[in-house]
Structure 1
Amino acid sequence: MPPHPESWLRVTPQGLYCEPGGFFIDPVRPVGRAVITHGHADHARPGHDAVLATPETLAIMRARMGEGAAGAAQQPIRPGEVLEQGGVAIRLAPAGHVLGSAQVVLDWQGSRAVISGDYKRQRDPTCAPFEPVPCDVFVTEATFALPVFRHPPPEAEVAKLLKSLALFPERTHVVGCYALGKCQRLIRLLREAGWDAQIHLHGALASLCRLYEELGVALGPLAPATVANKAALKGAIVLAPPSAVQDRWARRLAEPVVAVASGWMRVRQRAKMRGVELPLVISDHADWDELNRTIDEVGAPEVWVTHGRDDALVHALALRGIRGRALHLVGLGEEDEGPAPEVAEPASAAEGGVQA
Structure 2
Amino acid sequence: MPHPSTWLKVTPAGLYCEPGGFFIDPSRVVDRAVISHGHSDHARPGHAHVLATRETLAIMTARMGEGRAGVTQQALRYGEALTINGVQLWLRPAGHVLGSAQICMDWQGSRAVVSGDYKRHADPTAARFEVEPCDLFVTEATFALPVFRHPSAEGELAKLLRSVALFPERTHVVGCYSLGKCQRLIAMLRQAGWDRPIHLHGAHVAMCAVYEAMGVRLGDLRAATVAKKDALKGAIVLAPPMAVADRWARRLNEPVPAVASGWMRVRQRAKQGGVELPLVISDHADWDELLDTCCAVQAPEVWVTHGREDALIHALSLRGVKGRALHLVGLGEEEEDAAPAEDPVA
Q: Provide the residue aligned with 1:77 in structure 2.
A: 76
The superposition leaves residues 193-247 of structure 1 with CA deviations (integer Å, 9 ceiling, x where unpaired) of 1111000000110011011011110011110002662121111000001111121
Q: Is 1:50–2:49 an aligned residue pair?
A: yes
CA distance in 1, matches of 2:145, 2:186: 28
Provide, for residues 113-135 of structure 1, a one-character-per-residue CA deviation record: whole Å limited to 9, x for no partner.
00000000011000100000000
Aligned length: 345
SS at match of 1:126: coil
Task: Provide the rounded CA distance (Å) in 2 between the counterparts of 1:228 and 1:62.
Answer: 29
Q: Please give the alpha-carbon distance, in whole angstroms, between the structure 1 residues aligned to 2:200 and 2:104.
A: 37
Aligned to 1:122: 121
Is the partner of 2:323 in helix, strand or coil?
strand
Aligned-residue offset at 1:336: 4.9
- The residue type paired with residue 277 of structure 2 is L
Q: Report the alpha carbon displacement of residue 251 of structure 1 after superposing the two structures with TM.
A: 1.3
2:310 is aligned to 311
Distance between the aligned counterparts of 1:107 and 1:45, measured in 2?
A: 25
**What are the equivalent positions in structure 2 for 1:199-348 lying under 5 Å apart?**
199-226=198-225, 229-341=228-340, 342-344=342-344
- Matched-pair contact (CA < 8 Å) for 1:200–1:239: yes
Matched residues in 1 for 2:2 and 2:85: separation? Answer: 15
Answer yes or no: is the 8 Å Cα contact 2:202–2:225 preserved in 1.
Answer: no
**How much has 1:306 moved relative to structure 2?**
1.1
- Residues 63-102 of structure 1 aligned to structure 2 (within 5 Å): 63-102=62-101
Measured after TM superposition, the shift of residue 338 of structure 1 is: 3.3
* 1:354 aligned residue: none
SS of equivalent to 1:220: coil
Query: In the alignment, residue 311 of structure 1 is paired with which amino acid?
Result: D
Query: Separation in 2 of the partners of 1:60 and 1:192?
Result: 24
Question: Aligned equivalents of 1:321 and 1:343: distance in 2?
Answer: 28
Partner Cα separation in structure 2 for residue 309 and residue 323 of structure 1: 16
Query: Given the two structures, how large is their TM-score scaled by the length of structure 1?
Result: 0.95
TM-score computed with the length of structure 2 as normaliser: 0.98
Unaligned ranges ≥5, structure 1 = 347-356
What is aligned with 1:131? 130
Residue 243 of structure 1 aligns to a residue in which SS? Answer: helix
Distance in 2 between the 1:8 and 1:308 partners? 24
Distance in 1 separating the partners of 2:226 and 2:132: 47
Q: Find the residue that maps to 1:6 and give its secondary structure.
A: helix
Shift of 1:343: 4.4
Counterpart contact for 2:79–2:92, Cα < 8 Å: yes
Q: Distance in 2 between matches of 1:154 and 1:117?
A: 21
- The answer on whether the counterparts of 2:8 and 2:17 sit within 8 Å (CA) in structure 1 is yes
Q: Aligned partners of 1:263, 1:151: CA distance in 2, in Å?
A: 7
SS at match of 1:249: helix
Once residues 146 and 222 of structure 2 are traced to their aligned partners in structure 1, the CA distance between those partners, rounded to angstroms, is 40
Distance 2:237 2:336 in 1: 19
Distance across 2 between alignment mates of 1:343 and 1:292: 22
Is the 1:227–1:252 contact (alpha carbons within 8 Å) kept by the matching residues of 2? no
User: Secondary structure at 1:46's aligned position in 2?
Assistant: coil
Is 2:18 the counterpart of 1:19? yes
- 1:31-61 deviation per Cα after TM superposition (whole angstroms, max 9, x unaligned): 0000000000000000000000000000000
> Partners in 2 of 1:149 and 1:128 — Cα distance?
23
Percent of residue pairs identical = 74
CA deviation profile, 1:260-287 (whole Å, cap 9, x unmatched): 0000000000000000000000000000
Q: Distance in 2 between matches of 1:157 and 1:330?
A: 33
Give secondary structure in 1 for the equivalent of 2:128. Answer: coil
Deviation at 1:345, TM superposition (A): 5.3
Q: Which amino acid aligns with 2:332?
A: G
